[in-house]
Amino acid sequence: MEVPSGEAIYFIVDMQKAQEVNYFRIRHRNTTQTFIRWYSFDEIAGSIDGVNFEVIASNVVITDAGVASQQESPNITFPKSKYRYLKFYAQSANCFYQSSYTSQGSSVQIQELYLGLNP
Protein backbone atom coordinates (compact mmCIF):
# COMPACT_ATOMS: atom_id res chain seq x y z
CA MET A 1 0.00 0.00 0.00
CA GLU A 2 1.44 3.37 -0.98
CA VAL A 3 0.59 6.45 1.04
CA PRO A 4 1.95 9.94 0.30
CA SER A 5 4.31 11.36 2.93
CA GLY A 6 2.40 13.17 5.65
CA GLU A 7 -0.84 11.27 5.10
CA ALA A 8 -2.37 9.08 7.79
CA ILE A 9 -1.72 5.35 7.78
CA TYR A 10 -3.44 2.66 9.77
CA PHE A 11 -4.06 -1.04 10.03
CA ILE A 12 -7.11 -2.86 11.33
CA VAL A 13 -7.07 -6.09 13.32
CA ASP A 14 -10.17 -8.29 12.93
CA MET A 15 -10.47 -10.54 15.99
CA GLN A 16 -13.38 -12.45 14.34
CA LYS A 17 -15.68 -11.70 17.31
CA ALA A 18 -15.97 -9.01 19.97
CA GLN A 19 -13.39 -9.66 22.67
CA GLU A 20 -12.20 -7.75 25.72
CA VAL A 21 -8.65 -6.42 25.47
CA ASN A 22 -6.63 -3.91 27.45
CA TYR A 23 -3.08 -4.22 26.16
CA PHE A 24 -1.00 -4.87 23.08
CA ARG A 25 2.63 -5.75 22.53
CA ILE A 26 4.70 -5.42 19.37
CA ARG A 27 7.48 -7.70 18.23
CA HIS A 28 9.58 -5.56 15.93
CA ARG A 29 10.72 -7.02 12.63
CA ASN A 30 14.45 -6.53 13.09
CA THR A 31 16.80 -5.76 15.95
CA THR A 32 19.14 -3.58 13.91
CA GLN A 33 16.73 -1.50 11.83
CA THR A 34 14.99 0.79 14.31
CA PHE A 35 14.08 3.11 11.43
CA ILE A 36 11.30 0.73 10.26
CA ARG A 37 9.63 0.54 13.68
CA TRP A 38 6.45 2.15 14.93
CA TYR A 39 7.23 4.67 17.69
CA SER A 40 3.66 5.54 18.67
CA PHE A 41 0.05 5.60 17.51
CA ASP A 42 -2.05 8.76 17.42
CA GLU A 43 -5.13 6.68 18.17
CA ILE A 44 -6.29 3.19 18.87
CA ALA A 45 -9.98 2.83 18.02
CA GLY A 46 -12.48 0.00 18.33
CA SER A 47 -15.51 -1.06 16.31
CA ILE A 48 -18.16 -3.75 16.39
CA ASP A 49 -19.09 -3.46 12.69
CA GLY A 50 -15.76 -2.48 11.09
CA VAL A 51 -17.21 0.85 9.88
CA ASN A 52 -17.96 3.00 12.92
CA PHE A 53 -14.91 3.37 15.18
CA GLU A 54 -14.68 4.88 18.67
CA VAL A 55 -11.38 6.12 20.08
CA ILE A 56 -10.10 3.93 22.91
CA ALA A 57 -6.73 5.62 23.48
CA SER A 58 -4.75 8.57 22.10
CA ASN A 59 -1.02 9.34 21.87
CA VAL A 60 0.06 5.79 22.67
CA VAL A 61 3.86 5.50 22.89
CA ILE A 62 5.66 2.26 22.00
CA THR A 63 8.08 1.89 24.91
CA ASP A 64 11.77 1.53 23.94
CA ALA A 65 11.07 1.48 20.18
CA GLY A 66 14.38 3.24 19.56
CA VAL A 67 16.44 0.66 21.47
CA ALA A 68 17.80 -1.69 18.81
CA SER A 69 18.37 -4.60 21.20
CA GLN A 70 14.75 -4.41 22.41
CA GLN A 71 13.00 -6.51 19.74
CA GLU A 72 9.75 -6.84 21.68
CA SER A 73 7.92 -4.05 23.47
CA PRO A 74 6.51 -4.50 26.95
CA ASN A 75 2.74 -4.78 27.29
CA ILE A 76 1.28 -1.37 26.46
CA THR A 77 -1.99 -0.85 28.28
CA PHE A 78 -5.10 1.04 27.25
CA PRO A 79 -8.62 1.18 28.72
CA LYS A 80 -10.40 -2.18 28.76
CA SER A 81 -12.63 -2.41 25.70
CA LYS A 82 -14.76 -4.99 23.93
CA TYR A 83 -14.74 -4.75 20.14
CA ARG A 84 -14.30 -7.01 17.14
CA TYR A 85 -12.08 -4.59 15.19
CA LEU A 86 -9.15 -2.53 16.45
CA LYS A 87 -7.70 0.25 14.31
CA PHE A 88 -4.15 1.45 14.96
CA TYR A 89 -3.89 4.93 13.40
CA ALA A 90 -0.83 7.14 12.86
CA GLN A 91 -0.22 10.44 11.15
CA SER A 92 1.93 12.67 13.34
CA ALA A 93 5.69 12.63 12.79
CA ASN A 94 6.43 11.25 16.28
CA CYS A 95 4.78 7.95 15.27
CA PHE A 96 7.73 7.24 12.98
CA TYR A 97 11.52 7.25 13.07
CA GLN A 98 13.01 10.68 12.47
CA SER A 99 16.55 11.32 11.22
CA SER A 100 18.41 13.00 8.44
CA TYR A 101 18.49 9.92 6.20
CA THR A 102 14.90 8.78 6.43
CA SER A 103 11.54 10.44 6.71
CA GLN A 104 7.89 9.83 7.31
CA GLY A 105 6.58 7.93 4.31
CA SER A 106 9.49 5.50 3.96
CA SER A 107 8.44 2.25 5.63
CA VAL A 108 7.11 1.03 8.94
CA GLN A 109 6.76 -2.66 9.81
CA ILE A 110 5.74 -5.08 12.56
CA GLN A 111 6.73 -8.73 12.82
CA GLU A 112 3.97 -9.70 15.26
CA LEU A 113 1.23 -7.94 17.20
CA TYR A 114 -0.07 -9.45 20.43
CA LEU A 115 -3.38 -8.45 22.02
CA GLY A 116 -4.50 -9.47 25.48
CA LEU A 117 -6.49 -8.87 28.62
CA ASN A 118 -4.87 -8.43 32.02
CA PRO A 119 -7.30 -9.00 34.88
Residue 94, classed as helix, strand or coil, is helix
As its CATH architecture, domain 12-116 has: Sandwich (2.60)
- pTM higher than 0.85 for the full model? yes
pLDDT in tens, 19-56: 999 999 999 887 778 888 889 999 999 999 999 999 99
**Contact at 8 Å (CB) between 62 and 93?**
no
Distance separating alpha carbons of residues 45 and 55, to the nearest angstrom = 4
pLDDT in tens, 57-106: 999 999 998 888 899 999 999 999 999 999 999 988 888 877 634 454 46
Query: In the chain, where are the structural domains located?
Result: 12-116
Sheet containing strand 40-47, strands side by side: 54-61, 40-47, 76-90, 9-27, 112-116
